[in-house]
Amino acid sequence: MTTDEQFLQFIHYGHQRFIPHLTLDCTIFGYHEQQLKVLLVKWRGINGWALPGGYIEHEETLTEAGSRTLEERIGIKKLFLQQFYIFGDSPYRTQILTKEKLVELTGWSIPIPEDCWLIGRQLSIGYYALVNHLSLEVKPDFFTQEYQWCDINELPELLFDHTHIIDKALETIRLHLYSKPIGANLLPRKFTLPEIQFLYETLLGKSLDRRNFPKKLFTLGLLNKLNERRSIGAHRSPNLYEFNQENYEKALEEGLVLVM
């Protein structure tokens, strides 16, 4: 099929495959060395950055829809996505998308039928993931023209209400930090205490006490002290640590309470 044929198919028959009025948007946070970034994409023909997202098929679970969307859009497989909110209250989400607005937004020159399934209210289910973005190889598909990992403190103006979605995702992650262990996929296997503290500080967007914070992780039994040091300078060779696998898994399952 040519591109135009693909678009025509989507516009005319998309509702046979997808649930109308409901999309999902994925906020993928990437952490590496004290920087927190978010994955933004630019759709072909649309001038503006947005989160990767898509529609949900009639016969797939929401979890499957999330995985399929990421795989199709940016070639990423098997990312653990966490559902966190459904967006339907913001001014953008309560507007009815008209045919005219749809043309303006997409720049499509293809004729759009009056009763096109894409017209109407658009709600969005928010998912987030937190990864070491150096470990992800992004392979954009035809519809994704460009992508970037953008520092969360330097976000450009985004399409739709995607800035609001990122804010809410960050708020949710911060809340989860108090009840779930994190870090296993974000830090090197052996890490220093400053490294894990930087991770928490970056996610929380605030400083934590240098003496109390590690103590709390020890109290929860999350860290094993290794008999190894890293040499990073003349008089600096901080001790290395690793996660205590058993306690980490247990905390993932049962939850924990971390006071910071």
Q: Does 85 bind its own copies (CB under 8 A)?
A: yes
CB-based contact 23:120 (threshold 8 Å): no
CB-based contact 243:222 (threshold 8 Å): yes
Q: Does 226 bind its own copies (CB under 8 A)?
A: no
Subset of residues 176 to 195 that bind its own copies, contact rule: CB under 8 A: 178-179
**Nearest in space to 28 (alpha carbons), one of 69, 58, 57:** 69
Comparing CB distances to its own copies, the nearer of 86 and 226 is: 86
Q: Does 19 bind its own copies (CB under 8 A)?
A: yes
Q: Does 234 bind its own copies (CB under 8 A)?
A: no
Task: Give me the least distance between CB of 199 and its own copies, in Å please.
Answer: 19
Torsion-angle region of residue 62: left (phi > 0), alpha (psi -120 to 50) or beta? alpha
Interface pick for its own copies out of 125, 158, 170, 196 (rule CB under 8 A): 125
For the record, the structure tokens of 40 come out as 């933004």
Residue 248: CB atoms within 10 Å: 20
- Which three-class secondary structure state does DSSP give residue 130? strand
Place of tokens 């591109």: 3
**Nearest in space to 131 (alpha carbons), one of 79, 76, 197:** 79
Binding mask 104-123 for its own copies (x = CB under 8 A): ----------------xx-x
Q: Does 257 bind its own copies (CB under 8 A)?
A: yes
Q: Does 89 bind its own copies (CB under 8 A)?
A: yes
State how far the Cα of 10 lies from the Cα of 7, in Å rounded to an integer.
5
Work out the widest C-alpha separation in the chain, in whole angstroms.
72
Binding mask 22-61 for its own copies (x = CB under 8 A): x---------------------------------x-xxxx
- Name the site residues for its own copies (rule: CB under 8 A): 19-22, 56, 58-63, 65, 83, 85-86, 88-89, 93-94, 96, 120-121, 123, 125, 175, 178-179, 255, 257-260
